[in-house]
Amino acid sequence: MPNEHDGTPPESNESLSKEELKKRAAAEAKAKALELAKQKALEKKEESEPAEKSNEPDDTLAKDKALAAAKAKAAAAAKAKAAAAAKAKAAREGASDGAATEDEKALAAAKAKAAAAAKAKAAAAAKAKAAREGASDGAATEDEKALAAAKAKAAAAAKAKAAAAAKAKASRGGAADSSDASDEKAKAIAAAKAKAAAAARAKAAAAAKTADEPAEEQKPSPLQPLLDKYKAIIQKELGDGALGDSYINLLSKDVPTLVAQPDTYFKIAQLLKHHEELRFDYLSELHATDFETHLEVYTHFYSYSHRCPVALKVKINREEAVIDSLAPLWAGADWPEREAYDLIGITFKGHPNLTRIMMPDDWIGHPLRKDYEPYDVEV
């Protein structure tokens, strides 16, 4: 297996010009992508076959299945590795290219540098895009060509590594499976591995997709319907203006996030708890943050009856930090609200016992505020 720390792909030849190399790499990458797609289709067929036969007790069939699964796993693992390597390459290239700039071809060097920078940014951009539409400006200003080149290079490196990895894995997996394929345990392991491989494949595919088409629109989150449902219910029950904002927080496992107005915060919470279709009976987390322009209370709820999560936020005026308490709705909000009062300085209206909880009762100031200065009697 090639050393992953080694940044240079095996077929990269220093005598070739960067331009040529790039072109070739791009071509190869394309070919590879095609091949991958084909292979994937094949595997899918392969996998679905044994799945259908899984009921048959025949031992040889089971053996076949295990082998197939192992094979599938090897391929998927290779793919996953390819994706990872590509990503890693992109990240590392920035550093390794520093040496290349020594080259007398100043123009090519500059281009390479630009490419490296672009690569790093491209990865970031892909992610950032997922989070916010507007934040990708950095990547957008970059040269499209450089971006493509970066991709191609990464793909070339990935290919070599993937091939080696696949070979190694396949031989190992094959040996292991043939020796004790009849064993029940081996079968179970193989099944688990196949499951893992499937997950890896899905991930790899997703990664490949985002890497290939960073400009493409992110497909809607699987939790989008949930958010739409929440929004619809809140709109129906409390009217249009109740909800300040709502979005899917892609950084936080796609949790549907609602932003309430200070005056509708309690009403929305009440609705979340008591509405038949929502029933958020579990308060998982409540805390506050000082964002300097405002304070924010973040709550995370979970509905055990419908098995779905939601995050509810509310922005509070920093000077006059007062908000309704959720303790009457969820007894579990009692201490977290006291903590928020103690450390951030938010007064919760209707809280049964709003006293300091972490700091001593005579403490002055709220330590987690960004402008907090420890009070000292002697100063």
Partner 1 sequence: MIRTEEMLLNVGPQHPSTHGVFRIVLKIDGETIVEANPVIGYLHRGTEKLAENLQYTQIIPYTDRMDYLAAMTNNYVICHAVETMMNIEIPERADYLRVLVMELGRVASHLVWFGTYLLDIGAMSPFLYAFREREAIIGFLNEISGARLTFNYMRIGGVKWDAPEGWIEKVRDFVPYMREQLAGYHDLVTGNEIFLNRVKGIGFYSKEEALDYSLSGANLRCTGIEWDLRKDEPYSLYDRFTFDVPAFDSGDAWARYQCRMAEIEESLKIIEQAVEQFPETGEVMAKVPKIIKPPKGEAFVRIESPRGEIGCYIASEGKKEPYRLKFRRPSFYNLQILPKLLVGENISNLITILGGIDIVLGEVDG
Q: Which residues bind partner 1 (CB under 8 A)?
A: 1, 4, 77, 80, 83-84, 87-88, 91-92, 124, 127-128, 130-132, 135, 172, 185, 189, 192-193, 195-196, 199, 203, 207, 249, 251-253, 255, 281-285, 287, 289-291, 298, 300, 304, 307, 311, 330-336, 339, 343, 356-360, 367-368
Q: How far apart are CA 118 and CA 105, in angstroms?
A: 20
Cα(131)–Cα(253) distance, rounded to whole angstroms? 11
Q: Which among 312, 120, 125, 310 has a CA at the least distance from the CA of 218?
A: 125
Closer residue to partner 1 (CB): 39 or 289: 289
Q: Would you list the DSSP string of 180-210?
A: STT-HHHHHHHHHHHHHHHHHHHHHHHHHHH
Smallest distance, partner 1 to C-beta of residue 360, A: 8
- How near is the Cβ of 368 to partner 1 at its closest, in Å? 6
State the nearest-atom distance from the C-beta of 226 to partner 1, in Å: 14
Q: Which is nearer to partner 1, 109 or 168 (CB)?
A: 168
Q: Dihedrals φ, ψ of 106, to 5°?
A: -65, -40
HSE, side-chain direction, 13 A CA sphere, residue 356: 14
Torsion of CA 8, 10, 14, 18, to 10 degrees: -70
Q: Tokens in use for 186?
A: 């081996």
Terminal-residue alpha carbon distance, the chain: 65
- Give least dist CB 281 to partner 1, A: 5
Give whichever of 159 and 169 is closer to partner 1, judged by the CB atom.
169
Distance CA 213, CA 160 (A): 22
Q: Which C-beta is closer to partner 1: that of 51 or that of 291?
A: 291
Minimum distance between the CB of residue 251 and partner 1, rounded to whole angstroms? 4
374 three-class SS: coil
Measured from the CB atom, the residue of 124 and 238 that comes closer to partner 1 is: 124
CB of 113 to partner 1, least distance (A): 18
If the CB atoms of residues 62 and 88 are measured against partner 1, the closer one turns out to be 88
> Cβ of residue 41: shortest distance to partner 1, in angstroms?
24
Identify the H or E element spanning 341.
helix 334-343
Q: How many CA atoms lie within 13 A of 48 on its CB side?
A: 6
Nearer to partner 1, 57 or 374 (CB): 374
How far from 3 is each of 105, 218, 254, CA to CA, in Å? Answer: 29, 33, 35
Q: CA-CA distance, 203 to 229, in Å (whole number)?
A: 28
> Of 166, 152, 146, nearest to 12 (Cα)?
152
Contact, 356 vs 378, CB < 8 A? no
Token pair listed for 325 = 């308490």
Closest separation in Å from C-beta 332 to partner 1 = 3
